[in-house]
């Protein structure tokens, strides 16, 4: 199936399309006829490669994985998983803490 998709993406032949004289630029874009916005397929070679970091993460207990994800969201995106809110600054004023128990 992957080979068929790659061949279709690399193929220069196109199916015939109905040309409507009344189509404007927005219509062409919506119908995918705009060459700038056309779908491009890229062959992904690393899909079958092993990801040891992901395997190590998945081996952790569920509580620890959730804690790591919540901590990452706080540090990188100033988002509290438990408040369901993205804070405007790093202080995250108004958030009671890192754990679910802190939010009870």
In percent, the amount of the chain with pLDDT more than 70 equals 71
How high is the pLDDT of residue 65?
94
The tally of CA atoms less than 13 A away on the side-chain side of residue 13 is 3
Write the burial class of residue 83 (CB in 10 Å: 0-12 exposed, 13-18 middle, 19+ buried). Answer: middle
Low-confidence ranges of the chain (pLDDT < 70): 8-18, 34-48
How high is the pLDDT of residue 1?
79
**Alpha-carbon distance values, 59 to 37, 54, 99 (Å):** 41, 9, 21
How high is the pLDDT of residue 35?
61
How high is the pLDDT of residue 10?
62
Ranges of each domain in the chain:
62-103
CA 4 to centroid of chain Cα atoms: 25
């Amino acid at each position: 199936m992957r080979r068929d998709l790659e061949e279709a993406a690399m193929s220069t032949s196109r199916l015939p399309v109905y040309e409507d004289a009344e189509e404007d630029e927005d219509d062409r874009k919506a119908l995918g006829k705009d060459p700038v916005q056309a779908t491009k397929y890229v062959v992904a070679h690393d899909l079958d490669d092993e990801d040891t970091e992901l395997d190590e993460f998945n081996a952790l207990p569920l509580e620890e994985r959730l804690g790591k994800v919540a901590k990452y969201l706080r540090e990188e995106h100033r988002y509290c998983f438990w408040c369901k809110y993205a804070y405007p600054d790093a202080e995250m004023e108004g958030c009671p803490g890192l754990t679910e128990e802190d939010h009870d």
